[in-house]
Amino acid sequence: MQNINSWLESNTFHHSQFKDIAQLVKAKEKQDLTISLCIPTLNEEKTIGKEIVIFKSELMDRYPLLDELAVIDSGSTDRTLEVAASFGADVYLSADIIPEMGAKKGKGENLWKAIYQLKGDIIVYVDADIKNIHPRFVYGLVGPLIFRQDIKYVKAFYDRPLAMSGQIRPSGGGRVTEILIRPLFSLFFPELTALIQPLSGEYAAKREILEKIPFPIGYGVETAHLIDVYSQWGLNALAQTDLDRRVHRHQETRALGKMAFGILRVFFNRLKKIKNMNCLPELPNLLRQFQARGEKYEQIVYEIFEEERPPMIEIEAYQKKLKK
């Protein structure tokens, strides 16, 4: 097992290391790279406009770092698509991309279809609900991919230890990360504990990697990516960038339970394949939670499949597109 401390030293960055965007553009053009930004959406009219204005004005008009800025939508019922288009984003309905593959609901579905729809050698994924959006959410992630050929996939994290009055503030991920993912990684993939925020929704990767890995369509997509990239290309293919602070809406505990259930299904499926743990039983897809009505308690049953899309490189329509 690789020394985690040495990886943290060499493959952990701060966004300020890449704040010279003109230098990034120069290095990108020298390598003849193209970069696409994908913002997956579902009813994000309140925040999507600001994100597009900032990214387009700073990273396309002022500095040509991005070659493409696209919104891929799951079927919003608010004005998300109208707002995004009005501010200059390319707008796509996920259901209209590779229609012969059918339409499925989930963020992972949008991320997967972006590989087909977008043109970039590097694809950056940024969530649509960030209230303190800033160009660093893009340049901080693509920087390591431009300057380090060995790095293939870069995750964001938002907190870092701060020394205050002689005390250290713990740094890490959210509730699901610290209660579920970090213990699971510690048990089965200890090197992946080097990722400070494995479930962050912001990351960038080279197409050559993204097209070769499967995509869970739901909650497990981030966990699956890390395990699959690590298993096929090793820890050194991964990196992470400190983006300082991310302000967004928080989910209720009940919603986190659904997320954890979906992640567990994805995780155990990978244990079967990667660790050859064939002793694991077939996993049910029913999550049971409770709600109270007055003095009575009712059990609610949710069906969560966590279906996966195959590697894009295996899709016939994508193969034909590559040949054009």
Q: CA-to-CA distance for 205 and 233, rounded, in angstroms?
A: 13
Residues 298-304, mean pLDDT to the nearest whole number: 87
Percent with pLDDT over 70 in the chain: 94
Residues 153-174, mean pLDDT to the nearest whole number: 65
The pLDDT of residue 171 is above 70: no
Number of residues assigned to the chain: 324
Pick the range with the lowest mean pLDDT from 14-18, 111-115, 222-226, 247-251: 247-251
**Three-class SS state of 317:** helix
So what's the pLDDT on residue 285?
87
Which tops the pLDDT comparison, 158 or 164? Answer: 158
What pLDDT, in 10s, does the model give residues 205-254?
999 999 999 999 998 999 999 999 999 999 999 999 999 988 756 678 88
So what's the pLDDT on residue 282?
81
So what's the pLDDT on residue 248?
59
CATH of residue 12's domain is: 3.90.550.10
Residues 109-124, mean pLDDT to the nearest whole number: 98
Q: CA-to-CA distance for 286 and 302, rounded, in angstroms?
A: 6
So what's the pLDDT on residue 324?
79
CB distance 98 to 57 below 8 Å: no
Q: Residue 157's domain spans which residues?
A: 4-323
So what's the pLDDT on residue 166?
52
| Number of structural domains in the chain | 1
In angstroms, what CA-CA distances link 122 with 208, 226, 271? 9, 17, 29
Residues 289-294, mean pLDDT to the nearest whole number: 85
| Alpha helix segments (H runs only) across 96-206 | 107-117, 136-147, 175-176, 182-188
The pLDDT of residue 42 is above 70: yes
So what's the pLDDT on residue 11?
98
What pLDDT, in 10s, does the model give residues 150-161?
999 999 998 744
Residues 39-63, mean pLDDT to the nearest whole number: 97
Pick the range with the lowest mean pLDDT from 166-180, 233-247, 266-280, 304-318: 166-180
Total-model pTM: 0.91
